[in-house]
Structure 1
Amino acid sequence: MTNTPPPDPESSSKNPLGFDEFIAVLVAFSTIGAIIFWSLSRKDSDWNVGEIFSLSPATSPNIQQNPGLPSPVPQVQPNTETETLPSPVPTPNVESSTAPLTSDEVPSTSVLPPIAIAPVTPGQVQPPLSASKPLTPPFSLVTPAKKKSAIPPPIAFNDVPDDFWGRKFINVLSARGTIKGFPDYTFRPNQPVTRAEFAAILQQAFEDKPVQNTPKFKDIQDKFWAIPAINQAISTGFLKGYPNQTFQPEQKISRVQVLVALVSGLNLKTPASPEQILKIYKDAKDIPQYATDKVASATANGLVVNYPNLEVFAPNQEATRAEVAAMVHQALVYRGRLEAIPSNNIVRLPK
């Protein structure tokens, strides 16, 4: 009888793994471990085996559950890796909404490929990464060639024709709201002007601040519509009351009174020889004595406007709305508030 070794015991449920099988499994796991260690130790690897084993398909690489919240809320976790990047890339400064984690709480994350991210502050829109130059709009902006005037166009009054002598003066003042028309779109250029209405025109034209403690007149009630305008005209020196403490607001104002008021308010000086200046008028003898110096000053400074005859002053004639508009316009030209306009009705001294 040949002395042979006993056969190897067969695997059974009581002995699930044989010695040779155990060695094979051990070699296989050692090989897999070596491959994983080799892949993690590579710095220039384009793929990451550790990411496959450490992350599940439902989990994002940079999102961590915050254990302090009652329900799972995704949060952005700043990159804590200190690995040297292949090229100098600025690290974004991202502030976390939670308290910083300690070294024991920092989860182990695998190495991710470096990505260059420009820092973005809250509320700032980040331009596309591929934009190498500023984007230009598909259309060009059109700039007006001429700046629009802040003054509205003149009002087209239906009773002021194009050939009316005072149309230019009326257009300038009506466009600025200095003198207004009536609700029926009329100006009524030949209508006389009362002293109260003239005070209102002066208030709109010169906009001077009134002085306090203006006198109170017996013939003006407390709720009279022109009280603010009258007080301003008196305090600024344009108008005066009468010696018996009356103002006579409804009295029609004369042409000479209009010019005396304008010269007084503008504080114009009396010329050297007023009598010589007044010889330009054929009716100079009709000028009241108290107003000769004022009229001469108004003439020398271009405030007098006569129609239809340039040499007829008509001092005691009631001033019309067109005449008041023309004389107030000339006073504003003297103050530098308006530009001069050409007119054959402005009295000018011979040179």
Structure 2
Amino acid sequence: MSNSPSPERRPPGLREDELIAIIVVFLSLGGIFFWALGQGRDGLTLAGLFNTAPVSPPSPSPTATLGTTGNTTPSPPVSPGQPTPLPAGTIGGRNGSTIDTPAQSLSVAPASPRPTVTAAPNPETNVVPVPVPIPNQQTSPAPTPTTEITSPTPTTQPTSPLAIRPPIDFQDVPDTFWAKPYIATLSTLGIVSGLPDGTFQPNRSVTRTEFAVQLEKAFQAAERRSSRQFSDVTSEYWGNVAIDKAVKTGFMSGYPNGTFRPTGDVSRVEVLSSLVYGLDLPAPENPEAILQVYQDKDAIPNWARTKIAAATQAGLVTSHPNVNRLNPNQAATRADVASMLYQALVRTGKQTAVPSQYTVTPR
């Protein structure tokens, strides 16, 4: 029996799989090596790729002081958990072996945080101000504007309370009527007016309310007394406003029993007394001497004697048909009231006197 030859034994050495593994490792390391060289500008270290040991946060590096340019490319900070770098110039190999690398080909720098860049301050320069001479210039003071002060122009109050209008030609007031001038003028001022039928009825009596209305139209007097309530004048009465105005301006007043008697006829003595009150005419020194002009002087009431004397002295009294008789207690006619109102306007300077034989002149 012959012995079969024993299988051929390979000499001891590396196996094919081991050789292939070594080649793969070197190729991988070479690729990593060249990749690390390309990333060197960004501060990535090759040694840090294989060290997995945890590191504590690095302390900040000293502040770099730059020159005049002040520009630098800082390395990115290494966050905690990156691998700890190996010594420079070594690359980790298999089984803990190291591979030397040329110093000029690989530069391994330790990981460091981004440095704080502070520009060097420029040295302070002491600036010494140099006075610059200013040429002499002759300056003239600016003229001060002057404002011409003008005194305000005084305003002139109108001489009549109402606008002048054409006189009303009443059919029952002919040109020969003794009170025609007075009635015509007062109609132009709106103080008197006619009746709806176009007549004036100059001989008709005048009520106290109608007289108050004419006073309100004729005079723009200031109020000097307080208002007064009368038992026979309600707030709805048509002449309430005119009566209140006549009372507050001092032209009229009521009776002692608290009434006004708005529908009662106004007497001649009441018309003259109210004008004296409203115009505030002064009392004469000797009233009784003035009253001697009237033949019926004894008929003048005692309360009105001084007032009638003042009215006579001021030229307010007209009496038709007998200038020497006053007829003080007689109801005043529309013609009487018109003539006496006109004379009162003459007294205040708002109208010119009309020559008339029926105007009473004191002796």
Give the TM bin, normalised by the shorter chain.
Answer: 0.5 to 0.7
The list of structure 1 runs, each at least 4 consecutive aligned residues, that deviate by more than 3 angstroms after superposition, is 209-213
Identity across the alignment (%): 48
Separation (CA, whole Å) in 1 of partners of 2:352 and 2:216: 20
Partner letter of residue 227 of structure 1? Answer: N
Deviates further, 239-248 or 305-314: 239-248
Separation (CA, whole Å) in 2 of partners of 1:280 and 1:210: 34
Partner letter of residue 175 of structure 2? Answer: D
**Where do residues 1-351 of structure 1 align in structure 2 (5 Å cutoff)?**
151-210=164-223, 213-350=226-363
| SS of corresponding position for 2:243 | helix
Separation (CA, whole Å) in 2 of partners of 1:280 and 1:152: 38
Deviation at 1:292, TM superposition (A): 0.5
**C-alpha spacing 1:213/1:295, structure 2 compared with 1 (3 Å):** closer
Separation (CA, whole Å) in 2 of partners of 1:217 and 1:272: 35
8 Å CA contact 2:179, 2:335 repeated in 1: yes
**C-alpha spacing 1:213/1:260, structure 2 compared with 1 (3 Å):** closer
Deviation at 1:208, TM superposition (A): 2.7
CA distances 1:104-159 after superposition (whole Å, capped 9, x unpaired): xxxxxxxxxxxxxxxxxxxxxxxxxxxxxxxxxxxxxxxxxxxxxx6222100011
Separation (CA, whole Å) in 2 of partners of 1:278 and 1:152: 38
Separation (CA, whole Å) in 2 of partners of 1:304 and 1:211: 25
Deviation at 1:244, TM superposition (A): 1.9
- Structure 2, unpaired ranges of 5+: 1-162
**C-alpha spacing 1:323/1:212, structure 2 compared with 1 (3 Å):** closer
8 Å CA contact 2:282, 2:310 repeated in 1: yes
| SS of corresponding position for 1:239 | coil
Other-structure match for 2:132: none
Separation (CA, whole Å) in 1 of partners of 2:226 and 2:301: 31
Other-structure match for 1:109: none
Other-structure match for 1:103: none
Separation (CA, whole Å) in 2 of partners of 1:302 and 1:343: 11
Partner letter of residue 238 of structure 2? Answer: W
8 Å CA contact 1:209, 1:232 repeated in 2: no
User: Which of the two has higher C-alpha Rg?
Assistant: 2
Deviation at 1:207, TM superposition (A): 2.6
- Structure 1, unpaired ranges of 5+: 1-149
CA distances 1:256-299 after superposition (whole Å, capped 9, x unpaired): 01000000001111111111110111000000011110000000
8 Å CA contact 1:214, 1:231 repeated in 2: yes
| SS of corresponding position for 2:210 | helix
Partner letter of residue 180 of structure 1? Answer: S
Deviation at 1:341, TM superposition (A): 1.1
Alignment size in residue pairs: 201
Separation (CA, whole Å) in 2 of partners of 1:293 and 1:208: 22
- TM-score normalised by L of structure 2: 0.54
Partner letter of residue 165 of structure 1? Answer: W
- TM-score normalised by L of structure 1: 0.56
